[in-house]
Structure 1
């Protein structure tokens, strides 16, 4: 009868003998009489002990795929206090004799390009595989919190006829006899869905044809988008994001403490303490504390770091919501804030980097048409979107988080590509 495979995390609770596991060889030490091998699967590692003559014909090496049958023995000297005494072992497939590195190597010593070219070995690494397990949990928590707060998950097209910001920075593609583009954002679609479902969110790839070659930009990234209706101002959106991030951070502190620790990161902070500063106030703070007088309508990377430093000093959290950017620097659909050229728009800066852009949108067709004309954009080009504002559009707003960028900031990674399975940037489209 076929014996069922067990996952390594299940072994301490198992009674039956013998036990079968499968995984990769993570560590290997061959002595004259005894061979010790550590096997890793999706759930953990276990040390296996076998007679060396069992390996005489297999010629096992690191990162081979193996299937192992044996008896589970409690041993406090072994990793996790258990080891498997092998009765039989089968090689399922073998690794190359000269790998560029092994999954058990110190991955920090490997060049970024080699890591990308050999991504499965990085994922098998206990520490660096944890990056993507944490990211997966983060996305799961994003979904769970919003679903529990009356949001509906939507799935929208990534092939579009025009851009959300007037057709700039778009990847063009041939679409039968027409020209189409890859979506920069689900912004128009999530606004339209607010008119039907009131509270919506989406997780999906977006595409930006911006010729960046920096440690913080990607041309394809995974966006966590939120939009909600019947709001009175962007402060409600900020409060929603506070609650969302607190929920995510509290869970990650508990479930991924080992990964945070392995990257030398402190416990993720409570976002309840993160201040909200008006854009003008930020410029004053930068002037007073750092002598900055060079900023006018936006913040540069150094200013983002400096503001987070000030928030850390004053509130004990390296994060700040910056509200009221100049309207001229924001997309046409952004609602104005007061009568002095500010926008109902905010950025969330976290550990020295912008991780969120959000705000309140215009919700009347006439206002959108006026805003388009001020941006020298033709309203007729946006007719299919504008028509939705005749169907009963409530006051609404939302935000978007780049999943890779947030992961990098949580773990203190120096380059967003380290938090991206297969990065797409100006120079890379493979693997």
Structure 2
């Protein structure tokens, strides 16, 4: 039997949940109000629900800061009456009371408490509270208590920003005739020749978790011309770094009838510029808590050839150790050079060695380079993209060049006999983009439940 306490100190047994007759929302005699809507209800009696965020008990008066998904409000009660309730931080409560103006309160009003119910007791000693300074809490403790940490504003705001990025990504592409598609994450082979795959038992045979929706995006181009997908992808790479995950959320797009990867680069400039402008506009106050400056304009991000990047790294930093790829330090150094030259801490690097890119990558001339690019932003790679091969015979030859039998990709290759146009695309890791936007030290901070080499729970 659950109990609630009135402010005269008397307890009332509540009806067990199993005996409650639930009514549609419009038939409820007392409807819960979200805190954000209270400002329009001065002097009215209301019912609110939320968690106890802060608690200050004085001799005669107790101040309870309650938070719900829409905001927080100060509630005021008699200390004598509230003593019987024995409130604790982070307990969920239901409060009935009256809204009254008070200029001393942060919101300009407060709620005078008539009745309060504790909906569920906190039954363990919490390692931190939703009002704690989260910077002092270790990341493993935060992840092990994720629901509690999400009630902390500095943690919860990370995922509000992340959700907004996804919304803006979808909006931008739909306005440009892209169709959102939803494809399987169980595949019969890898998109990159079968490496770095998580194998799963699929009835009488083996299957794999998808490394990316790349093949399905290309099929989508053959049918819908412009497609995008957002969803989890899986990489069986034994990384243990601050920037890698084995399961991450990928923002993928693919478009047909392109002449060169420059069209994709321009699209991404406009896409990121749109996302950044909307974040600055809609979430500027949150961004200021994480960044010294708002997000930059992206329309003029420069494009540098890979060979030129190696030359600049040698000239400015004495680097001569890189041959066919960039390491994290080189990414940081190149962003420094780009910012000093253009004012934008970002650049596209194009023309990576073809041998280091997936077999379906289109060559860039005859010198062994690829029509493939990375976007480096504020010292870290955010995007990989490029133009793809669109003819079956070219794909078969690319597979043979890597000692892969085209027969293994027969189902895939048949799709290129159905009128596949020239095409290309790109992919952005949502968690990594979120972490970079908010200057988080570890990509796990931007992941609700990270999956990496060592973590598989909760």
TM-score (norm 2): 0.93
d(CA) in 1 for partners of 2:44, 2:100: 11
1:243-282 correspondence runs (5 A)? 243-282=270-309
- 2:226·2:256 contact (CA, 8 Å) conserved in 1? yes
- Name the SS of the counterpart of 1:170 in structure 2: coil
Cα pair distance change 1:421/1:322, threshold 3 Å: same
When residues 16 and 158 of structure 1 are mapped into structure 2, their CA distance, relative to the original with a 3 A threshold, is: farther
Contact 1:63–1:94, Cα closer than 8 Å, also in 2? no
Which entry has the higher C-alpha Rg, 1 or 2?
2
Q: Given that residues 193 and 404 in structure 2 are in contact (C-alpha distance below 8 angstroms), is that contact kept between their aligned partners in structure 1?
A: yes
Answer yes or no: is 1:215 the counterpart of 2:272: no
**In the alignment, which of 145, 149, 157 is matched to residue 172 of structure 2?**
145
Q: CA deviation at 1:16?
A: 7.1
Q: Write the deviation string for residues 225-274 of structure 1: whole angstroms up to 9, x where unpaired.
A: 00000000000001111111011001111111122112234200011121
| CA deviation vs aligned residue, 1:352-385 (integer Å, no higher than 9, x gap) | 0001000000000000000001111110010111
Q: Which residue of 2 aligns with 1:350?
A: 377
**Aligned pair 1:19/2:46, yes or no?**
yes
Separation (CA, whole Å) in 2 of partners of 1:394 and 1:18: 64
Distance 1:347 1:81 in 2: 50
The answer (yes or no) to whether the contact 2:276–2:295 under 8 Å persists in 1 is yes
| Structure 2 counterpart of 1:238, from 265, 276, 279 | 265
Distance in 1 between residues matched to 2:184 and 2:390, nearest whole Å: 22
Deviation at 1:278, TM superposition (A): 0.8
The corresponding residue for 1:341 is 368
2:360 aligned counterpart, secondary structure: coil
> What whole-Å deviation, never above 9, does each CA across 1:336-355 have from its counterpart, x for those lacking one?
01111110000000110001
- Bigger mean CA deviation after superposition, 415-424 or 30-39: 30-39
388, 405, 412: which one aligns with 1:385:
412
Contact persistence 1:227–1:397 (CA under 8 A): yes
Aligned position for 1:77 = 104
- Aligned twin of 2:3: none
5+ unaligned residues in a row in structure 1: which ranges?
none
1:29 aligned partner:
56
Change (3 A) 1:124 1:166: same
Among 67, 86, 89, which residue is 1:62 paired with? Answer: 89
Instruction: Give the match's secondary structure for 2:55.
Output: strand
Q: Distance in 2 between matches of 1:181 and 1:103?
A: 39
**What secondary structure is seen at the aligned counterpart in 1 of 2:169?**
helix
Partner SS state of residue 119, structure 2: strand
Alignment of 1:128-143 (within 5 A): 128-143=155-170
Q: Among 311, 318, 338, which residue is 1:284 paired with?
A: 311
Equivalent residues, number: 431
**CA-atom RMSD, angstroms?**
1.1
Q: 1:124 and 2:151 equivalent?
A: yes
When residues 233 and 16 of structure 1 are mapped into structure 2, their CA distance, relative to the original with a 3 A threshold, is farther
Q: Aligned runs of 1:165-244 on 2, under 5 Å? A: 165-244=192-271
Q: Equivalent residue for 1:421? A: 448
Q: Tell me by how many angstroms 1:55 deviates.
A: 1.6
3-state SS of 1:80 partner? coil
Q: Pick from 325, 328, 333: which aligns with 2:352?
A: 325
**Aligned counterpart for 1:305 among listed residues 332, 343, 348:** 332
- SS of equivalent to 1:227: strand
Q: Secondary structure at the match of 1:256?
A: helix
Instruction: Work out whether residues 45 and 98 of structure 2, in 8 Å CA contact, stay in contact via their aligned partners in 1.
Output: yes
